[in-house]
Amino acid sequence: MSTKNEKSVKMKQPSILSYVKDLPNLLSLSGLACTVLAIYFSITGLYAAAMIGMVWAVAFDWADGLVARKLKDRTPTDAQFGGQLDVLIDIVSYGVTPAILLLSYGDFAPIYLIGAFVMMAAAAIRLSYFSTYGLAGGTKYTGLALDNNSLILVSVFLLEGIVSHEVFTIILYISGVGLAILNVSEIKTPKLSGNPRNVYLLGAYTLGITVIYGLQLL
């Protein structure tokens, strides 16, 4: 009898919120918080702040994977939960957020619904494909990884103050849809987040983008 009780205790599922204590998951949720801010500022038209939120969402996304790989006491279930959480947050960070940015900058005109749908659909298909097949050959992605969308778009947005609103709207539309096409293409791209040098480069890029757009907010 005591053996059965011990087994039932061991097999008991952990509570949902118990996974929040896991450091990689906390980093993932921090990235989600940045994404929520990016969405909010996109809707309200404070695009400089939205860019800061978008780039920091990528930084936290990379950080959760690095930390997860270094932790030795994580169970397979912890890793599985973290992977699922990461994918769900990615669809919001790299699919929903850029789509809302495009809609907002286009004053929510119906024509921008097409581009927004293409961007979100590509993100959903891209993530579903990756969840099914993983890395090609164990080292490369099939299609452009979604985090690149945010990293590229925050740079593209630097043109916003240089060209007219009408011209930049076209640039943003083409950029967003073009990235979506690359997301679901058959091109092979390296896994940038797995290289320590790239992590330092992302850190420098994140700080640089933060400073540039932060100065615009002053």
Kindly report, residue by residue over 20-64, the tens digit of the pLDDT: 888 999 999 999 999 999 999 999 999 999 999 999 999 999 998
Q: Look at residue 66 in the predicted model and tell me its pLDDT.
A: 84
User: Is the Cβ–Cβ distance between 114 and 56 less than 8 Å?
Assistant: no
Q: Give me the DSSP letters along 144-194.
A: --THHHHHHHHHHGGGGGTS-HHHHHHHHHHHHHHHHHHHTSS-EEE-GGG
Q: Look at residue 35 in the predicted model and tell me its pLDDT.
A: 98
Sign of the dihedral through C-alpha 52, 85, 114, 147: positive
- For 137, the 3-state DSSP assignment is coil
Q: Look at residue 98 in the predicted model and tell me its pLDDT.
A: 97
Q: Look at residue 113 in the predicted model and tell me its pLDDT.
A: 98
Strand partners, 141: 189
Winning range, highest mean pLDDT, from 9-13, 67-71, 82-86, 119-123: 119-123
Q: Does domain 21-217 have CATH number 1.20.120.1760?
A: yes
User: Is the Cβ–Cβ distance between 166 and 109 less than 8 Å?
Assistant: no
Q: Which two tokens stand for residue 150?
A: 């945010």
